[in-house]
Amino acid sequence: MEDRGFDLEGRLDALVEHDLKRSLAPADRVAERGYFASPSGGELPVLDSEEALVFASNNYLGLTADKRVQDAARQAGATVGTGAGASRLVTGDTLVHQDLERLLAETKGTDRALAFSSGYAANVGTITALEPDVIFSDERNHASIVDGCRLSGAETVVYDHCDAASLRAEMADRADRADGPGADGESWLIVTDTVFSMDGTVAPLESICDVAEEFGAWVMVDEAHATGLYADGGGIVQAEGLEDRVHVQLGTLSKALASQGGYVAGSDALVELLVNEARPFVFSTGLTPMAAAAASEALHLARHSDARERLWENVAHLRDGFESMGFEVPGESQILPIVVGDREDALALEAGIRDRNVIAPAIRPPTVPEGTCRIRVAPTAAHDRNDVVACLEAFQAAGTEVGLL
């Protein structure tokens, strides 16, 4: 009989051979330090006896462990329910969802906002619902944007990372193309992350808006790694005062907002369209009320506590420390990529800091281009001065051991 099955072992062996195989390693909690278990496969995991410092979480404001956020989730679970029970359009819409959306719209300076069950769903649902003819997408945009572009069936033009001149050239080229369908009557969408999660870079938003206006295109931004961290708890759009020039502001509730879910903020018409046409919104159970309530409380704290200040102090201290050791740390955000080059060095450095009880992941292809492997260091507001010093000391010792310093 012919074999028409799938060679899964072969594919896994190839990943191992190329230093690309990843494994699950459970932690006891989501916080600035914790106990971890070795990859357990099918067995019940056993937590290691040593506590490690975690510089590898997108819990940027450290709010997953905040009692006020936990209480908000607990209370919503007890009073509203642990699950929404249905799509928002059926019976899954609650006051907790509406409250979150009101607060998000206020923070983002828009008419309205809409919560999705994940940031991934928000990107895929929004891009497909807009039905753009042409999308201009930064080459390093998140996978959920890439998947949204693919699923929308739009012609997708990729421009150079964070390069408004490249974007302009691509738009001019597309507008001039004689044998194309022509730009008249088409809808054009520019889409970009604002803070890039693996590079720490920040999109040149004002210049992108200038180019968009020149060609009559819309701008959609993904503020997943910025929401909660900038001006008044907003993102880069708020930091740069671009609310009136960006048409779609999207983000996640799962990073600084310490919860789960995604959101889109924009005009009344945009939100009404998404409520009706975004398939991951229409055909998926509403966000759990506990996640909505936790995110609301976290957003309130992002706006009205000193958490942002504490995060940015840690970022400045770490960046200074890494750079004075001689590491290259590109970007200009809270994400600190320690670029080391090849996979072996990145994996050796990851293991070296792990031996010193500091956890930060080696990032390899396909997440980043070949030859630019790195350790992604992400501090949180919950790390104290001693944690930051311990992290720097681990990198100094491991970097020397591996021969990188």
Q: What angle do CA 301, 239, 69 make, to 5 degrees?
A: 15
Contact between 288 and ligand PLP by CB under 6 A: the answer reads no
In sequence order, the 6+-apart residues with CB closer than 8 A to the CB of 180 are: 174
CA distance 161 to 207: 13
Nearer to ligand PLP, 224 or 359 (CB): 224
Nearer to ligand PLP, 110 or 118 (CB): 118
Residue linked to tokens 């099918």: 42
Q: What angle do CA 188, 190, 196 make, to 5 degrees?
A: 165
Contact between 333 and ligand PLP by CB under 6 A: the answer reads no
Nearer to ligand PLP, 52 or 257 (CB): 257
Among 193, 199, 240, 345, binds ligand PLP (CB under 6 A): 193
Contact between 119 and ligand PLP by CB under 6 A: the answer reads yes
Interface segment toward ligand PLP; rule CB under 6 A; list 11-19, 114-122, 327-335, 370-378: 114-122
Contact between 310 and ligand PLP by CB under 6 A: the answer reads no
Contact between 254 and ligand PLP by CB under 6 A: the answer reads yes
In sequence order, the 6+-apart residues with CB closer than 8 A to the CB of 312 are: 334
Q: List the structure tokens of 97.
A: 């969802």
Contact 31, 381 (CB under 8 A): no
Helix H or strand E segment including 189: strand 188-193
Contact between 284 and ligand PLP by CB under 6 A: the answer reads no
In sequence order, the 6+-apart residues with CB closer than 8 A to the CB of 239 are: 226, 230, 231
Contact between 222 and ligand PLP by CB under 6 A: the answer reads yes
Contact between 104 and ligand PLP by CB under 6 A: the answer reads no
Residue linked to tokens 């200038």: 210
* Interactions with ligand PLP, residue window 225-244 (CB under 6 A): 225
Interface with ligand PLP: number of residues (CB under 6 A): 14
Other beta carbons within 10 angstroms of residue 313's beta carbon come to 16
Nearer to ligand PLP, 197 or 334 (CB): 197
Least spacing, CB of residue 198 vs ligand PLP, in Å: 9
Among 125, 262, 286, 321, binds ligand PLP (CB under 6 A): 262
What residues make contact with ligand PLP under the rule CB under 6 A? 118-120, 123, 142, 144, 193, 197, 222, 224-225, 252, 254, 262
